[in-house]
Structure 1
Amino acid sequence: IQPQEFVQIPVNQSVIEGSTATLKCQVRNRVGNLQWTKNKYALGIDRNLPNYERYSMVGNPARDEFHLRIVSVKLEDDGLYQCQVGQTEAAEGIRSNTVKLTVLFPPDPPQILEAPIAAVILGKPTNITCLVKNGKPGAKITWYLAGKLMNRKLYSTEMFTKSNKRVDTKGNIMLIPKTEHSGKLLECHAINEALQNPYVTRVTLNVQYPPDITMKINITGKIRQGMNVQLACEGFANPQQIKWKWYRNGKHLARQTASVLNLPSISHVYHDNTITCEATNSIGSTRKEKRLDIKYGPRFISASSHVAVDPRENAKLKCEADGNPQPSIIWRKKGSHNILGSGSTLELVEVNDADLGTYYCTATVVGFSEISREVLLLKNGPPRIMSDGKFYTSQEKTAHIECIAISVPKPVSMYWMKNGRTLDNTNSDRFSTNNEELPYGMKSTLEILKVHKEDFGSYNCSVANKYGEDIAIITLAEKDVLPMPYIIGGAVGSVAVILIIILACVIYHRYKNTDSGADSYTDSDSTMEKKKDVKSESPTLMGQWRQDYNKDLYRYSDNFDEVYNSKVRFSQHYHTYLV
């Protein structure tokens, strides 16, 4: 007897769900029963396999063909199959190789989680995910951007096998968005062995970015003080909704919320300032800045109004000016056109009386008007009181008595006394003093509340500096009050005078109209009396001070009267009449 042997044996197969699968098995010299096993479980020897509706053994029995046919393949048919021939007393049994029947399922259509529009940020690495479910085997994913296959290094794939043997596939692509990507289609292609053509899903890229801005200024040339300056920012953004902020030297200008900043009649204080505009949308903020270069004329930032020295000492007169460009400074002395020096400091060596007086520092910036300032060079000496000797007030009124002292250097003390007692803010509720510094000295005001009878009389005003002292006696006198009959009589008399003047005017006009036809005449030079202007000037406190001043230790120079006349201005006499 010939041994049993296989003529055809089954091979591994993959079939799509719903199709028909046929596993081949043909035997030569068969004497034993033939059956198929599925996952090591025997299906039976009847060719019709009655226990399995969709299973049967087909082929030509005469040729011992026992092919296993499975119709309408389902997922449950997926497994391991083997063709077996049983042994007999005359022959040994045989078994084919074990083969795998794989049932294929097409996946569900892919889904891009960010669809239909993926909002991505310019330049920021972003993951886009494509999910393909229920494939068997798991789907393969590829990516296309604007129709071009993307580099596989940019994406990855993960597969998750479920209990029903189906596989979910997740594909991720790392995209670094560029401006040109905006509006382009990103496609996810998914395919497995159950599909002839891939599934495709798409997402539109919306590349978002913070504002891209520029700053412009309305002036093309040099910016001069007083010009109307406008700074404008403009640009593009996605999203397009932009909020604007402006900063000056880093400080937020809270009221400026437009894309334009107006600086009308710009001043020098904006020179060298940094103006920043900030544009913000939901993605981020962008800044642009501009440093302002303002051209402006000279201005004095510090200058000594006077310098006091002792004889034979050196003196430094200072005068600092600001401008753009930086001002040039020259020095002259009053009455002379000679330039004594340049720069912010003029140094005089071993000063004598001839050096004393008024000096001018002149600051110049090309294209602007020059400016000048006086600086006095004075000689140190004892103080001198220059005040009226008498002040008037009434009882129960408030009196103010003033004492003005000229002193170079400044006084170290200035106080009031009456009847040998010092008057100040601490020893009386009604008496108080207030000392006010003047350019070349000090003014002390004694205030007396609710003047009493005993407050009238002489007061001693004393002033001292390190070179000496001066004392003045100032009188507070009671102001005369006219009796009531005098006041009434004066009022009646004034009314009468006014009525007489009105009557005279009426008579004059009537007389003039009557003689309007008469010939006019002109007084001859011999008969006309020539009018003379008579100008009388009573001595003033300043005039008296100037006369006395030049007689004492302050006798500096021939033009020193003019120095003080220009610099020490008292707007009124120091007689005080209080009501």
Structure 2
Amino acid sequence: MYKGEEKLSITVVYEGVVTRARAEVKVTAADNGAKVRCDVINPATKKPISAHQTLSVKFSPWEVTGYVSPEAVEAGQEAVLTCETSSSLPASSISWQTDGEPLQGAISRRSPGMFGGTVTRSELVVVPTQEENGKVYSCEADNDMAASVITNITLNVLHGPVWVQTPPGTVQVVEGEELVLTAAAVANPGPISYSWWRGPSILEGVGVEGGQDGRVKILRMGRHQSGKYSVIAHGPSEDITALFNISVLYGPEEAVVAERVVVDEEGPATILCTAEGNPIPNVTWTREAEWDNSSRAALSTGVGEARIVVEWATQADTGLYTCVAANEISAAPPATTALVVTQPPVFVFAGEEGEWGRTRAAEGTSGRVECRVRAAPAPSFTWSTANSVELHNNKKYYIHVPQLVDRVAEWISVLVVRNITPADYGLYTCTAHNSRGSHASNYSLSPPIFPEVPLDVNVTQVSSSTAVVTWRHNRMGAPAWGYTIRYRTIGKENQVLVFSGPLVFLRNRLTFKSNGQ
């Protein structure tokens, strides 16, 4: 038995008058169409008897090749992807996919191949974008005979720079902190360099590090650096630009208010507070309640500014108003405005009850007579003696410039009488005058007096070693500066213990221990 000219190894089986011969042949694609001949001979034949058979071998493609034309394609231009199988029988079919997704639209052609098989060729037209540079397409050939064969085609898309990463549209940074900005782009071919800009000026110099590699560091941000910025990616043939804003956050440094606002009674008034910051600060007006300094009710609020509007001013509106401005970064120091409703002078008395309007000073010293009024606008003061002689600055008298003592409407004028003699004791008249009216009040300059004997002296608690003494100040005399307590043990008349000290230490009550003697 022969395959072509190759003699095959056979196995012969005799069954009576029948002889059978078998040969096993491992065929390849090249054996398709090969002739197999079997020659039979015995003593009765003069020459061999031959039988012939043609082999029909089915085979799968052993490879598939692929390529793209042109090899490098400009973004937006057509590229033809081609896959071609080796010969196969039956003919192979070709399928396309990318990123796991099947593709349609390929055109296939077939032509005769080796060993009586068929070559299949498939073409797929694509129009790649610049983002598809490096994208992989797969083509698979299969004729259901064995495992399919696959090849991959990678696109080489020529394009200018394309952004991969840019700063966000608005970059926020707290004043004083450093800021790092990053950008990245790709191009085919490369390389890419970067430049950073603020408006029309390139970002470089002191306080700026890096930049050309796509990463720039600004060491310390200030509010003046807020604004429009850009980064440019420079490719071999073209550039691209990304725009963004930098917003430097900072707290308000001050709340801007008027120091004083004066308004006529029953007239309108507006007090305004403004503040700058990023983000724009919240502004709040408050006023301390006279009966509770810890309580502050918000009178007006706003963003960037707040105003208090008084439509019908009364004396009750006179006072200090506080403005506070704050945002998420910090708060400005509180600012205060005095709202003053005009009024004629009204005298204010200070000091201990019973001594109002009275000043005491010894002969040969200087006496200080104070005159206090509430008035708006600012009053003028005149001083005169009991016989209506107006006083002026000289060697004997000195009148201080009036001072605003409570930042609102309380004014003080001070008359100093030098080198006091008995003739200087008596009444002095202080007259305060403004556009709303005038008022006069008498003040006395008197010689000093001595404290009177304390009242209600009692020993309230007594033990074997301690005693508590209490007493009450006698208001008929001068205010006491201190007290002395003498303690004598019964039976020891000559032994006296003395306890003394200023009023601030004794407080009208003394506890002491006896030494037992």
Q: TM-score, normalised by structure 2?
A: 0.38
Structure with more strand by fraction? 2
Q: TM-score, normalised by structure 1?
A: 0.35
